[in-house]
A = this chain, B = another copy of it.
Amino acid sequence: MTIKDVARYCGVSVSTVSRVLNNHPDVSKQVRARVQEAIATLHYVPNKSARDLVAAPMNAIGVVIRGSGNPFFTPIINAMDEEADKHDCTLISELISDRDNEISAAAEFVRSKRLKGIIFLGGRFDYTQDEIASIGVPFVCCTFDNQFGDLDESSFSSVSIDDAAEALKATEFLLEHGHRKIAILLDSVDSNSVGALRYSGYCAALKDAGVPVDCDLVVQTGGFSMSSAYDETLALLGRRPDVSAIFSISDSMAVAAMKAISDLGRRVPEDVSVIAIDGIESSLYTVPTLTTLCQPQQTFGKTAVQVLMGVLNDGAQNEHLRLETTLRVGGTVGSR
């Protein structure tokens, strides 16, 4: 069932069918009606790939998302959608799995949809100048930057927080509340990723306070799953009952940690305090409410699009924006 079949069916040319398909004006009322009826009865649906190939050079940008289920991304994506609309621009999203390479995914995406630009949501921090060359359009890293790669600053944009500085803030908050035995819950200290950055902030805060880093309190879960965060917190509290506070690099891991603390018969924050970074929706509903440094999720989405549109339409330079978090004081940090 192609456009040809429809054309043949009602005895017109394919161009006529194409015209009614695309709402072009110069088609007689009768013919238009006839074609539309044919389309309906034949259940004809145009082939998007064929359309994309010919490509009305639309105004479209894409977002490549790694980790569909990540609740942290949801508000960001919504904000992107909204902002793209304001710029009369279509935002097309492409989901990739953990094993996919976001660079090649983006390159393919750009070609097949003729995208003007790309936003990455959840990507590596260590791209090389060589590998990004395949992308071919301006791009912006959203919620991360290229701290471990060799990318030229002027060759791309980013919108993110200063992970080390924010982790330092979080740790300082605990220190200010009198905590000294502060554990950190993270994926890995040498992941070339957010874990490493936030770990450095944690270390810096301790150092500033004259507290030595205790390896035993550095809990590496090997990922961001709640189950491993739970297990590792259980283990931590087992071997080190003296821990008085935990800094988790993500909200969801903090939620799992809180459960582990509770399951051991300890209380948050009376026995163990918890602080994190993220500000995902569900961390509002823990009891007590999670104290966390909220990342500006909507602003991330909005700004990422704005920066991209600036480069695309106004010939602006690439830029690297660092947004700040907002401390949300919940009830998970107590004083010592």
Contacts and interface: CB of A to CB of B under 8 A. Distances in A.
Nearest to A70: B69
B285 A45 contact: no
Contact of A108 (B48, B71, B284): B48
B49 A53 contact: yes
Interface of A: 1, 43, 45-50, 52-53, 65, 68-69, 71, 73-74, 77, 81, 93, 95, 97, 104, 107-113, 133-134, 136, 226, 230, 252, 255-256, 258-259, 262, 281-282, 284-287, 289
19 contacts: A1-B136, A43-B134, A47-B112, A48-B108, A48-B112, A49-B111, A52-B112, A68-B93, A68-B95, A71-B71, A95-B95, A226-B281, A226-B285, A255-B285, A259-B285, A259-B289, A262-B287, A282-B282, A287-B287
B282 A111 contact: no
Copies in the assembly, this chain = 2
A258 B287 contact: yes
A259 B230 contact: no
A258 B281 CA distance: 15
Nearest to A285: B259
Contacts of A112: 47-50, 52
A171 B310 CA distance: 55
Nearest to A55: B49
A interface: dominant SS = helix
Contacts of A252: 282
Contacts of A65: 68
A104 B50 contact: no
Nearest to A106: B45
Contacts of A1: 136
Contacts of A256: 285
Contact of A45 (B52, B81, B104, B226): B104
Given A1-B136, A287-B258, A111 B281 contact: no
Nearest to A1: B136
Nearest to A41: B133
A73 B107 CA distance: 28
A23 to B, nearest CB: 16
B53 A107 contact: no
A226 B75 CA distance: 14
A327 B259 CA distance: 20
Nearest to A230: B285
Nearest to A2: B111
A279 to B, nearest CB: 14
Q: Which 7 A-B pairs have the closest CB atoms?
A: A69-B74, A48-B112, A49-B112, A49-B52, A259-B285, A45-B107, A49-B49
A282 B226 contact: yes
Nearest to A107: B45
Contact of A43 (B50, B77, B136): B136
Contacts of A258: 285, 287
